[in-house]
Amino acid sequence: MGYRTLLRDHRGLLAIAFLAMFSSSLGQSFFIGLFQAPISERLGFSAGQFGSAYALVTLVAGFAMLRVGPVIDWVAPRRFACVVLLTLLGGLLLLTLSPWWGLGLLGLGLVRLCGQGMLTHLGNTLAGREFVELRGRALGLVGMGIMLGETALPPLMAALLVWLGWRELWWLFALVLAGLWVPLLLRGPWPQAPGSRPARGQRREGPSPFRERRFWLLLPLLMTLPVTMTGLFIYQARMTEDLGSTLSVYALALTGMGIAKLPGALLGGRWVDRLGPVRLARLYLLPYAVALGMAIAWGGHLGVWVLMVGGGLAMGAQEPIATSLLVRLWGAEHLGTVRSTLSAAMVFSTGIAPALLGVVLDLGADFRVVLTGMLAMLVAGWLLAQEVLASREAREA
């Protein structure tokens, strides 16, 4: 069975998960970044103050993920989605309407938590838990919801800003999303609650990933891509200057990265189903490793292009592989708990890494040195993960 069979037999559930991933665009950095200047002006922040506040609310959202993410293991997905969407709407209204910067900042935090955090958590968990035989393909398909947002929304928002203010544009996007969600919430094929809620005062059964050695050994491998790509996005000007390229070439290469995500997701999902997540976990970062090596050796326009395209291929494949691997190691019944822990760890690391990278660059390091450090991080993460990937639990179907 392939993608055509999957879409024919499960299009309703796939539509729910896909829409959750697309709706997460409202809280993603690429979307909020489009409106950084007017949001900063409304909150009364300078660019630097906004950056610090954004990092703060992102870290708080990461801690909140640890607390609220696991509830999807026992709460009915429809109810979970309703609460997340209503909270997201509340955050949007606070951000766009509040006259006080404190409430506006709270709204930004809720948008980040429910957008980038909980909606991606909902989409990936539904696809990873409800599909067994075609789990990889399902995860690949729903992951394209984020790709659609990253590709289509920036030029669309830029065009609409000619006629609408940023607040009206956010309200319009929220209205469009509401029109898509209401029919699915009323008539969609929502699965039942996967488990029972722990009694008050009773310790919840299930894994505690932060207390398990295998989670810490696997974490560097899964965090390498988001951490390093965040650094490339934030310090794009310095990267292009040190590599002998230009920002216009980088902008085109960024489009190439978005296009490369599509075959990465579709082929990654297909290969997960055929070869298994353990084997793919050993291989999927290879295009990015090769791209880092070529960028270090060659630099120039070609170095920027291969870096973005190699990163795009790996980024498209990561989610189907990572979520399938978590299911293999901890079981589908605990996927919400483990995924929320992984998401929180990624939020923390991507919030701190740019600051550390900025210190390295301020000390005068050439960006080729930074890329070499990223390649070393990738190799180290791959080596650490081998013990987990070779374990009996990982090899068992």
- Both 170 and 216 in one domain: the answer is no
- CA separation for the pair 157, 166 (Å, rounded): 9
- pLDDT range class, residue 302, cuts 50, 70, 90: very high
Residue of 61, 149, 177 whose CA lies nearest to 111: 61
Decide if 304 is inside a domain: yes
DSSP-derived secondary structure letter, 198: P
What average pLDDT does this structure show over 77-105?
92
Domain count across the chain: 2
Domain identity same for 223 and 291: yes
Answer yes or no: is 202 within a domain: no
Q: Say yes or no: 272 and 184 in one domain.
A: no
According to the model, what pLDDT value does residue 66 have? 85
Instruction: Report how far residue 106's alpha carbon sits from residue 109's, in angstroms, rounded to the nearest whole number.
Output: 5
Confidence of residue 368 (pLDDT cuts 50, 70, 90): very high
Q: From 160, 193, 226, give the residue that closes a domain.
A: 193
pLDDT at 147: 86
Q: pLDDT above 90 covers what percent of the chain?
A: 34
Confidence class of residue 90 from pLDDT cuts 50, 70 and 90?
very high
Regarding whether 141 and 94 lie in a shared domain, the answer is: yes
Residues 215 and 363 in one domain: yes
pLDDT at residue number 396: 54
Greater model confidence, 263 or 394: 263
Dihedrals φ, ψ of 236, to 5°?
-60, -35
Give the chain's largest Cα–Cα span.
61
Give pLDDT, residue 314. 93
Question: Half-sphere exposure of 231 toward its Cβ, with a 13 Å CA cutoff?
Answer: 25
Percent pLDDT > 70 in the chain is: 94
- Round to whole Å and give the CA distance between 391 and 214: 10
If one counts every other C-beta atom within 10 angstroms of the C-beta of residue 60, the result is: 16
The mean-pLDDT minimum among 42-56, 65-79, 91-105 falls in 42-56
Q: Point out the domain boundary residue: 145, 166, 193.
A: 193
Residue 397 banded pLDDT, cuts 50, 70, 90: very low
Quickly state the pLDDT bin for 389 (edges 50, 70, 90). confident
State the average pLDDT for the chain.
86
Can you give the pTM of this predicted structure?
A: 0.83
Q: Are residues 108 and 225 in the same domain?
A: no
Residue 9: predicted pLDDT:
80
**Residue of 208, 315, 336, 331 lying closest to 268 (CA atoms):** 315
Provide the CATH number for the domain around residue 372.
1.20.1250.20
For residue 47, the model assigns a pLDDT of 66
Q: Are residues 351 and 381 in the same domain?
A: yes
Same domain, 145 and 2: yes
* Whether residues 238 and 166 fall in one domain: no
Q: What pLDDT, in 10s, does the model give residues 238-253?
A: 889 999 998 888 888 8
Chain length of the chain: 397
For residue 93, the model assigns a pLDDT of 94
Q: Higher pLDDT residue, 3 or 24?
A: 24
Which of 167, 193, 219 is at the close of a domain?
193
Residue 116 reports pLDDT greater than 90: no
Give the domain range for residue 283.
207-397
Considering the domain architecture, whether residues 231 and 282 belong to the same structural domain is answered as yes
pLDDT, tens digit, for every residue of 308-361?
A: 999 999 999 998 899 889 988 888 888 888 888 888 888 777 767 777 888 888
